[in-house]
């Protein structure tokens, strides 16, 4: 089902959600957040969908939020940013296994969403960063909970507080990437993993996954806490200066 910059296809028990905005390095708009949320939400009670794959295709995963659209949003009206928040809730409340296929750069929310996934494949050309700090902002999407619990405090500090980027090999060592493959092969390998999951007893998979993961209410509570602080930071002198600098660079 092609729908703008998000393509959703179902086959053999697997829903594939593909970000397709190559001219903007798959930067995510509010409409794209809506479409991804819908794809995840409608899979929840569909017994024919056993797992999902999220991919950006070959060469890039996503550059994160579309900053130009983000700047145009009226920060005094939180509803203008609610589509991104809804997507984060969809990830937190999801009960189906999600596989990520990352081939290229994964920035901001692109990296944060990987910590909500259950299996992550990356090409050796992939890079991962969540440099909210460079805009005077704080992490979102329960990243402050999930990242340190997955890869340890020190690595989480480097990523979320210092804005450091991780290579695929470093991400694999840190424990949030399962497998590193050659460029152009992430989606093929992700489909193999999906077939393995689909062969397993569905109820046992769901129950085991639930035991492994943080409770949804804990995730949504942290998402709300981060969102509140994020909103406050948007009004800070640091953030305003960072966004003004970005806007001025675009004008040159």
Average pLDDT over residues 54-78: 81
Name the helix (H) or strand (E) containing 34.
helix 30-41
Of 225, 79, 64, 65, the C-alpha closest to 144 is 225
pLDDT recorded at residue 118: 98
Query: What's the pLDDT band for 3 if we cut at 50, 70, 90?
Result: low
121 and 101 Cβ atoms separated by less than 8 Å: yes
- Which pLDDT score is estimated for 248? 83
| pLDDT score for 2 | 47
Task: Work out the mean pLDDT of the chain and round it to a whole number.
Answer: 93
Residue percentage of the chain with pLDDT more than 70: 94
Residue 14 and residue 51 in contact, taking contact as beta carbons nearer than 8 Å: yes
Gap between the Cα atoms of 146 and 159, Å rounded: 12
Q: For a pLDDT cut of 90, what percent of the chain falls above it?
A: 88
DSSP H or E run through 122: strand 119-123
Q: What is the pLDDT of residue 4?
A: 83
Report the distance separating Cα 20 and Cα 177, nearest Å: 22
The answer, yes or no, to whether residue 236 has pLDDT greater than 50, is yes
Q: Give CA–CA dist 237/104, Å, rounded.
A: 33
Please answer whether residues 19 and 62 qualify as being in contact, where contact means their C-beta atoms are separated by less than 8 angstroms: yes
- Residue 79 is predicted with a pLDDT of 47
pLDDT for position 227: 94
DSSP bridge pairs for 62? 106
Instruction: For residue range 109-141, list pLDDT tens digits in order.
Output: 999 999 999 999 999 999 999 999 999 999 999
* Confidence (pLDDT) at 207: 98
Q: What is the pTM of this model?
A: 0.94
Which residue(s) pair with 15 in the sheet? 10, 52
pLDDT in tens, 142-186: 999 999 999 999 999 999 999 999 999 999 999 999 999 999 999
Task: Report, as an integer, the average pLDDT of 222-228.
Answer: 96
């Amino acid at each position: 089902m092609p729908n703008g910059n998000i393509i959703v296809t179902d086959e053999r028990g697997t829903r594939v959600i593909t970000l397709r905005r190559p001219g903007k390095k798959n930067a995510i708009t509010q409409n794209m957040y809506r479409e991804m949320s819908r794809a995840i939400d409608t899979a929840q009670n569909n017994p024919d969908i056993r797992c999902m794959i999220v991919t950006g295709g070959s060469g890039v995963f996503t550059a994160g939020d579309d900053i130009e659209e983000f700047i145009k949003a009226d920060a005094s009206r939180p509803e203008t940013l609610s589509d991104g928040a809804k997507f984060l809730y969809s990830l937190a409340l999801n009960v189906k296994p999600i596989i990520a296929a990352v081939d290229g750069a994964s920035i901001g929310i692109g990296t944060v969403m990987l910590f909500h996934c259950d299996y992550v494949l990356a090409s050796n050309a992939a890079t991962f960063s969540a440099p909210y700090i460079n805009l005077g902002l704080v992490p979102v999407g329960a990243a402050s909970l999930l990242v340190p619990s997955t890869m340890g405090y020190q690595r989480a500090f480097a990523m979320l507080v210092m804005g450091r980027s991780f290579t695929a090999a470093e991400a694999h060592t840190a424990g949030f990437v399962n497998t590193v493959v050659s460029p152009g092969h992430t989606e093929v390998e992700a489909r193999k993993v999906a077939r393995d999951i689909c062969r397993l007893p569905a109820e046992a998979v769901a129950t085991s996954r639930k035991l492994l993961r943080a409770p949804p209410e804990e995730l949504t509570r942290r998402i709300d806490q981060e969102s509140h602080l994020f909103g406050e930071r948007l009004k800070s002198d640091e953030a305003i200066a960072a966004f003004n600098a970005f806007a001025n660079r675009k004008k040159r």
